[in-house]
Structures are given as structure tokens and as C-alpha cells.
Amino acid sequence: MTRFRCAIHIVPRRGILDPQGKAVADALHSLGFAAVGEVRVGRHVVAEIEAASEDAARDQVKAMCEKLLANPVTEDFEIASLVRA
């Protein structure tokens, strides 16, 4: 078994109103960052996991996201990185 470290991005799904993202975008605009477009605010989860292979680790992380870490109704997730710990 190998220990992996994975990083997961979870963001509100496009088309679902994200008032937090909008408030951040408005604040950035008022600071003069006029080039900023849409902003979405989500969560970043880092987890360590034991698995036989990178593929097995990826499968487990995906299952964890589908079951708990992301809400399938409102959020999308992305495995941003998966490396040996």
C-alpha cells in the first residue's frame, strides 16, 4: 500500500446562484480589479489516503466526493492533484 495525498476542489455548480462569489466579485471590482469576471467560492479539501495504486486512490477519492464531500444537487468537484505523500 502507498500513501497518497489528494487535493479536491468543490465549487457551486454553474447556473446555481453563488451570492458569496458575487459579493467577492463586487469587492474585487471596488478595489479596482476591473478585469475580474465571474467569481465562485467553494471549498478545498486535502486528504491523505492509503491505496494499492494511484488509480485505486483516485477511485476512492471520487467515491468520497460523491458520497460526502460534494453535494450532488448543487456542487461540482475536481481532483486537483493526487501525489505520493
Interaction site with other proteins (CB under 8 A): 12, 16-17, 19-20, 23, 43, 68-69, 71, 73-74
Q: Which is nearer to other proteins, 52 or 73 (CB)?
A: 73
Do 22 and 29 contact (CB within 8 A), yes or no? no
Min dist. Cβ of residue 44 to other proteins (A): 12
Min dist. Cβ of residue 66 to other proteins (A): 13
- The H or E element containing residue 26 is helix 19-30
Q: Where in the chain does DSSP place strands (E)?
A: 2-12, 43-51, 75-84
